[in-house]
């Protein structure tokens, strides 16, 4: 009896812990959402209200009217999408060669590529800046996209997967007269769909949330990305300059930038998790 | 015949070409070039002047750089243990056969998909000294309001809290994957032999989880060492440089003062630190026999 009671108590404790985890994780997101819908007078009310008394869209209107928010979103989405498509295309081609083809220097080249996993991205920032300045491509989408395409993780994940594809499968295709390109397209790519989804999500998310490079490479407002625009107009920097930060519009902007990411995450959760597990293995 | 064979030999290089072009131009090349820039005095306008290792020598006599290095290590001290131990504990919690564990995983991971700068903005509001919700709730516990982000002692812990909230879900997922790789029979067997849950955890789960733990620790060290965006948004490095971090100092030197050589030298020091951490990891992995 006592044993059973103890078991129940432990279970209860575990449930309480789970609820605490959920509350701590979600409360800031909820608070952002609630604040975004509060009119100016209400947002600073004390004690804090978890339900807006007079919910309003005005903060969203204010953000869209006074800032290039739509433009930043467009830039972020387009840059991340194009970068992802390029990365999947060139990484899967290269990974196929690394995993399944014999050629001089295969191991050496692959080792050099992997060695870059150790080199922090900050090291490349100044030379990249000089390079893009030199060809007059600062402040362009091109500058936001291209540096992502030199990434290593995608090649690493896909090479790992392609190596696991049985040789027999390829031999059968070769006997049937399929060329390398054909094998890549109609055998390797379909087989690798889960890995490709994981690479796509990693690439998209890292480009979407990238901050340092877009901050440096883009200075005109029309070419800003979402993370940079939000940081510069709704971050502490504006508060420091004297006027009190306007939290209503800031939370509306934050919410608009967050909803797409959370929606994508909820739909593609499986691939997110897979992507993370794959980056985790890379060490 | 001969021509065909030769063209067949070219195929691997054709497959590699697009990626290698991107890799060399945007990753490998700049990484090497960065080192040469770090050996120069270069103020964007005007010529680069070769100065050897002068920048590195100057850096270690630059009190602001030393400050940024100490701040970064302090930030790591505040976040890494919490992120690793906390991540493991949450992973073990949601690994239990409890109703709602999947939902809990989803909620804990959710902050991770939010942009770093948005995380900064959200917590700026939560930490607001006058109207912030955090000060209200600690007030209910009888604690006087804290000027979180403008107090020299509290600014870094505040940034650390936001960071832990933001990234702990990532570690949870990695630990969860590691936990699920441990065969259930082992734990079963231990239980039948009369081991307590604590003994099972200490003698079976933790040793078998070692490879995962080493990877999680390493990724957490690497990511926290490079902290920048949250600080940029929440404090801008202040108050009184209390939250100035290494990467931020690199940004300031390179792109606000346009001292490109000096800034590159900072980024190379970041590099050396990270390589040190990675080699440490390799050593640990080798010792535990998980890597050949």
- Residues A250 and A135 occupy one common structural domain: yes
A189: left (phi over 0), alpha (psi -120 to 50) or beta: alpha
Residue to substitute from A127, A149, A188, A208, interface B, most B β-carbons within 10 A: A127
Angstrom distance (rounded) from CA B54 to CA B56: 5
Of B132, B155, B172, nearest in space to B230 by CA: B155
ipTM for the complex shown: 0.89
Residue to substitute from B5, B12, B212, interface A, most A β-carbons within 10 A: B12
Angstrom distance (rounded) from CA A173 to CA A222: 50
pLDDT digits (tens, 9 = 90+) for A191-203: 998 889 989 988 9
Domain tally, chain A: 2
* Residues of chain A with C-beta less than 8 angstroms from the C-beta of B250: 122, 125
Q: Render each residue's pLDDT in chain A as its tens digit; 283 residues.
A: 577 888 889 999 999 999 999 999 999 999 999 999 999 888 888 788 899 989 999 999 999 998 999 999 999 999 999 999 999 999 999 999 999 998 888 999 999 999 998 888 899 999 999 999 999 999 999 999 999 999 999 999 999 999 988 888 888 888 888 888 889 998 899 999 888 998 998 899 889 889 999 999 998 888 999 999 998 877 754 444 444 568 899 999 999 999 988 998 898 888 888 877 777 654 3
Please say if the pLDDT value at position B221 is more than 70.
Answer: yes
Give the closest of B101, B116, B131 to A46, CB-based.
B131
| Enclosing domain of residue B127 | 56-287
DSSP assignment of B54-117, as one string?
A: HHHHHHTT-HHHHHHHHHHHHHHHHHHHHHHHHHHHHHHHTTSS-TTHHHHHHHHHGGGGS-HH
- For residue B43, the 8-state DSSP code is -
B13 domain residue, yes or no: no
Residue A26 touches partner B, C-beta closer than 8 Å: yes
- Residues A35 and A164 occupy one common structural domain: no
pLDDT at B1: 41
Angstrom distance (rounded) from CA A50 to CA A27: 10
- Count of C-beta atoms within a 10 Å radius of residue A171: 10
CATH number of the domain that residue B80 is part of: 1.10.3720.10
- Residues A184 and A274 occupy one common structural domain: yes
B269 domain residue, yes or no: yes
Can the peptide bond before residue B288 be classed as cis, meaning omega within 30 degrees of 0?
no
What value does the mean pLDDT of chain B take?
89
Higher confidence at residue A243 or residue B92? B92
CATH number of the domain that residue A81 is part of: 1.10.3720.10
Answer with the one of A56, A77, A93 that is the final residue of a domain.
A56
Residue in A with minimal Cα distance to B17: A94
Residue in A with minimal Cα distance to B44: A130
Domain tally, chain B: 1
pLDDT at A240: 44
pLDDT at A152: 92
- Residues A69 and A171 occupy one common structural domain: yes
- Residues 254 to 273 of A: which have CB under 8 A from any B CB? 254, 257-258, 261-262, 264-266, 269, 272-273
- Residues A16 and A87 occupy one common structural domain: no
Residue A111 touches partner B, C-beta closer than 8 Å: no
Please say if the pLDDT value at position B284 is more than 80.
Answer: no
pLDDT at A244: 54
Angstrom distance (rounded) from CA B251 to CA B228: 9
B44: left (phi over 0), alpha (psi -120 to 50) or beta: left
| Enclosing domain of residue A148 | 63-281
pLDDT at B282: 76
- Residues A95 and A225 occupy one common structural domain: yes
Give how far A264 is from chain B: nearest CA, Å: 9
């Amino acid at each position: 009896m006592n044993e059973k009671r103890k078991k129940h108590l432990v279970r209860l404790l575990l449930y309480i812990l789970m609820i605490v985890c959920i509350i701590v994780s979600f409360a800031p997101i909820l608070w952002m959402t609630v604040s975004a819908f509060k009119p100016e007078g209400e947002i600073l009310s004390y004690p804090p209200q978890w339900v807006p008394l007079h919910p309003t869209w005005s903060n969203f209107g204010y953000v869209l009217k006074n800032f290039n928010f739509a433009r930043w979103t467009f830039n972020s989405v387009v840059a991340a999408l194009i970068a992802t498509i390029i990365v999947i295309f060139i990484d899967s081609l290269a990974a196929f060669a690394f995993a399944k083809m014999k050629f001089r220097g295969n191991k050496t080249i692959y080792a050099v590529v992997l060695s870059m996993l150790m080199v922090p991205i900050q090291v490349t920032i100044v030379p990249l800046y000089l390079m893009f300045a030199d060809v007059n491509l600062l402040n362009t989408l091109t500058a936001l996209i291209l540096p992502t395409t030199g990434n290593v993780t995608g090649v690493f994940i896909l090479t790992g997967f392609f190596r696991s594809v049985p040789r027999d499968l390829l031999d059968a295709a070769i006997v049937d007269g399929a060329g390398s390109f054909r094998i890549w397209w109609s055998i390797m790519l379909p087989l690798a769909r889960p890995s490709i989804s994981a690479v796509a999500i990693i690439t998209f998310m890292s480009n979407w949330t990238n901050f340092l490079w877009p901050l440096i490479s883009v200075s005109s407002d029309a070419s800003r990305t979402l993370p940079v625009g939000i940081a510069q107009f709704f971050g502490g920097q504006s508060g420091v300059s004297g006027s009190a930060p306007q939290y209503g519009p800031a939370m509306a902007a934050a919410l608009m930038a967050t909803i797409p990411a959370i929606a994508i995450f909820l739909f593609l959760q499986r691939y997110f998790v897979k992507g993370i597990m794959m980056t985790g293995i890379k060490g | 015949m001969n021509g065909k064979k030769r063209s067949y030999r070219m195929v691997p290089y054709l497959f590699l070409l697009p990626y290698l072009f991107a890799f060399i131009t945007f990753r490998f090349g700049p990484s090497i070039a960065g080192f040469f820039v770090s050996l120069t005095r270069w103020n964007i306008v005007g010529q680069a002047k070769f100065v050897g290792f002068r920048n590195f020598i100057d850096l270690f006599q630059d009190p602001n750089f030393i400050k940024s290095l100490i701040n970064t290590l302090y930030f790591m001290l505040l976040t890494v243990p919490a992120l690793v131990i906390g991540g493991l504990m949450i992973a073990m919690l949601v690994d239990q056969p409890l109703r709602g564990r999947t939902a809990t995983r989803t909620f804990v991971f959710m902050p991770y998909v939010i942009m770093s700068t948005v995380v900064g903005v959200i917590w700026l509001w939560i930490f607001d000294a006058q109207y912030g919700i955090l000060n209200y709730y600690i007030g209910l516990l009888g604690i006087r309001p804290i000027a979180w982000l403008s107090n020299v002692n509290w600014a870094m812990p505040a940034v650390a809290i936001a960071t832990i909230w933001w990234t702990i879900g990532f570690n949870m997922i990695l630990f969860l994957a590691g936990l699920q790789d441990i065969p259930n029979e082992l734990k079963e067997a231990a239980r039948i032999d009369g081991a307590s849950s604590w003994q099972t955890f200490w003698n079976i789960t933790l040793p078998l989880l070692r490879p995962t733990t080493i990877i999680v620790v390493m990724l957490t060290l690497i990511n926290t060492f490079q902290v920048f965006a949250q600080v940029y948004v929440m404090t801008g490095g202040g108050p009184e440089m209390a939250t100035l971090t290494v990467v931020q100092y690199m940004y300031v030197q390179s792109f606000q003062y346009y001292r490109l050589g000096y800034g590159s030298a900072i980024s190379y020091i970041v590099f050396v630190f990270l390589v040190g951490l990675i080699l440490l990891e390799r050593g640990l992995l080798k010792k535990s026999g998980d890597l050949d």
